[in-house]
């Protein structure tokens, strides 16, 4: 007999099939790389326990029965604050993040590492409220604790300004919870897989790890392979009308022009599209010296640096390839901070201003990221303010020719991401293959690698730093190769 936890209950709310699969076919789940999400959740959860002062933590190592028994014991010591207070009723289990245990009843506080209040959090705390009430607890109020995105650290960290605490008691429907529990238990204790079709819940509120499993029988390519900012709502709408193959889509659907191009190119195996005049126009905007810039950064859910907010990107590294003159020698500079405990942006911003002269043309790929980081650093460091903004104001986005489809080929599969563009242009160039790198192959790995450096032995740290430098260097070298390829194209035409 399978029981329900609050996580399984929430799965059932989003998709009953996902709830069944998590028990009967967990091996079909695609790994979703949630390490950073869990880590942030743990950090925020640990911090939230300090909101009400001294608290008692129920230890997970006690096991389910031990946690429940320890909770019963601690409940008698009211008033107090109990973290991970554990309850069980008729096969339904939950551990409450923070339980304010007063003499006249309790208050439930569910902690989230989000910066907004999502409806799924109401389902989460509703389940907990139902279980506690069934355990004869007088639940006075239920609260969601989440992050204030506008909080900026200045001086001593202020935990009460960092968190929002919202009373959601009036939004809880206990009758609905009871009905859901009854239905979900029948489903998860059946050997038969629920016959539930694809819907918006496949990507809302979270990407489902079983999406590939649920779409494996669809022909390839299909409506869910369409790119060019065709949102999932549109794809589901087409799917529901049985417009699934690219042939169906081309016959019956009105798509944005770029998505339509993708479908046509893949369906008809068309040759690359090259708009020479537009590419020339783009290249003519570039001047020398010409710099190719890429940052690496990490996010800190709990800001530790003055002037920063929750989840702000903290730059710790950059790579810089550059030409001093047209058809000249290619040079390279780089920076990787060793300030693991302080603010890596201090030295980085100083070095960047030394490496990029004023009024230089700077190429990046997807300018939104680099421009935002430069603006943030300019606001933090008055001594470099004007220079950093000058770099920002002279940025040109190498993504533009691909975003505008002035250069497009079917291998790009509806994407203008550099991770799609690069192998499409250079399919056999092993020097541009990120899979050939050691330890660090993508952005999130770079972030995690940098954050781990402070805890490594000297030799391990040196090896990892070398591999971080190689990864970031490949990012800007890839831009150089793309730029050179565009120049070659217009010469040949």
Whether 211 is covered by a domain: the verdict is no
Are both 441 and 301 inside the same structural domain?
A: yes
- Do 266 and 292 reside in the same domain of the chain? no
Choose the final residue of a domain: 209, 240, 270.
270
| Residue appearing with tokens 């998860």 | 188
Does 409 lie in the same domain as 428? yes
The pLDDT score that the predictor gives to residue 31 is 82
Looking at the structure of the chain, the number of domains it has is 3
- List alpha helices for 426-457, DSSP H: 443-452
Query: Same domain for 231 and 139?
Result: no
Q: Do residues 21 and 148 share a domain? A: yes
Statement to judge: residues 341 and 371 lie in one domain: yes
- Cβ-in-10-Å burial (0-12, 13-18, 19+) of 89 comes to middle
Do residue 345 and residue 378 come from a single domain? yes
Residue 204 covered by a domain: no
The pLDDT of residue 202 is 96
Q: By C-alpha distance, which of 482, 425, 447 is closest to 344?
A: 447
- If asked whether residues 247 and 377 sit together in one domain, one would say no
pLDDT band at 38 (very low <50, low <70, confident <90, very high): confident
Contact 320, 329 (CB under 8 A): no
Instruction: Give yes or no: residues 245 and 111 share one domain.
Output: no
| pLDDT (tens digit per residue) in 441-470 | 999 999 999 999 999 999 999 999 999 999
Q: Is 275 inside a domain boundary?
A: no
For residue 408, being part of any structural domain is answered with yes
Q: Do 237 and 156 sit in the same domain of this protein?
A: no
Res. 493: pLDDT tops 80: no
Q: Do 397 and 305 lie in a common domain?
A: yes
372-379 contacts, C-beta under 8 A, 24 or more apart: 372/313, 373/295, 373/297, 373/313, 373/315, 376/308, 376/312, 376/313, 377/315, 377/345, 377/348, 377/349, 379/307
Q: Hey, what are 5's tokens?
A: 């936890």
Q: For residue 77, tell me if it sits in a domain.
A: yes
Q: Please tell me the predicted confidence (pLDDT) of residue 316.
A: 98
- Distance CA(277)–CA(280), nearest Å, equals 5
Quote the domain boundaries for residue 28: 4-188
387 in any annotated domain? yes
The CATH number of the domain where 88 resides is what? 3.90.320
Q: Whole-prediction pTM value?
A: 0.91
pLDDT digits (tens, 9 = 90+) for 378-437: 999 999 999 999 999 999 999 999 999 999 999 999 999 999 999 999 998 999 999 999
Tell whether 195 is covered by a domain. no
Question: In this predicted model, what pLDDT tens digit does every residue of 69-115 receive, in sequence order?
Answer: 999 999 999 999 999 999 999 999 999 999 999 999 999 999 999 99
Are 260 and 295 found together in one domain? Answer: no
What CATH number is attached to the domain comprising 371?
A: 3.30.420
């Amino acid at each position: 007999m399978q029981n329900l936890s609050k996580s399984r209950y929430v799965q059932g709310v989003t998709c009953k099939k996902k709830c069944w699969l998590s028990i009967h076919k967990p091996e079909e789940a695609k790994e979703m790389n949630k390490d950073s999400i869990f880590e942030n959740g743990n950090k925020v959860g640990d911090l939230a326990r300090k909101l009400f002062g001294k608290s008692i933590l129920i230890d997970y190592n006690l096991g389910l029965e031990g946690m429940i028994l320890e909770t019963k014991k601690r409940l008698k010591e009211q008033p107090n604050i109990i973290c991970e207070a554990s309850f069980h009723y008729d096969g339904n289990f939950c551990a409450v993040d923070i339980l304010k245990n007063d003499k006249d009843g309790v208050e439930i506080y569910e902690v989230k590492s989000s910066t907004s209040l999502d409806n799924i959090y109401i389902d989460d705390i509703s389940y907990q409220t139902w279980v506690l009430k069934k355990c004869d607890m007088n639940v006075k109020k239920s609260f969601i604790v989440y992050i204030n995105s506008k909080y900026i650290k200045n001086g001593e960290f202020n935990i009460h300004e960092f968190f929002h605490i919202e009373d959601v008691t009036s939004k809880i429907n206990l009758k609905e919870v009871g009905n859901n529990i009854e239905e979900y238990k029948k489903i998860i204790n059946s050997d038969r897989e629920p016959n539930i079709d694809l819907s918006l819940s496949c990507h809302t509120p979270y990407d489902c790890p079983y999406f590939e499993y649920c779409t494996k029988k669809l022909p390839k390519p299909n409506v869910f392979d369409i790119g060019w900012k065709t949102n999932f709502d549109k794809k589901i709408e087409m799917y529901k009308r049985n417009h699934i193959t690219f042939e169906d889509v081309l016959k019956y659907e009105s798509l944005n022009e770029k998505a339509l191009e993708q479908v046509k190119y893949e369906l008809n195996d068309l040759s690359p599209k090259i708009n020479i005049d537009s590419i020339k126009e783009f290249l003519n905007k570039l001047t020398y010296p010409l710099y190719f810039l890429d940052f690496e950064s990490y996010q800190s859910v709990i800001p530790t640096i003055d002037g920063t907010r929750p989840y702000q990107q903290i730059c710790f590294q950059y790579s810089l390839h550059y030409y001093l003159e047209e058809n000249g020698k290619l040079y390279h500079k780089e920076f990787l901070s060793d300030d693991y405990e302080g603010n890596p942006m201090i030295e980085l911003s100083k070095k960047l201003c030394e490496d990029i002269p004023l009024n230089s043309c700077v190429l990046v790929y997807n300018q939104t990221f680099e421009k935002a980081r430069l603006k943030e650093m300019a606001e933090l460091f008055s001594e470099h303010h004007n220079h950093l903004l000058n770099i920002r104001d002279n940025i040109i986005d190498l993504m533009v020719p691909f975003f505008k489809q002035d250069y497009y080929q079917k291998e790009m599969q509806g994407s203008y991401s550099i991770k799609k563009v690069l192998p499409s242009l250079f399919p056999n160039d092993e020097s541009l293959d990120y899979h050939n790198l050691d330890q660090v192959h993508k952005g999130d790995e770079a972030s995690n690698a940098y954050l781990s450096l402070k805890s490594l032995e000297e030799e391990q740290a040196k090896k990892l730093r070398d591999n971080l430098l190689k990864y970031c260097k490949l990012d800007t070298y890839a831009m150089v190769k793309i730029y050179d390829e565009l120049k070659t194209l217009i010469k040949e035409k």
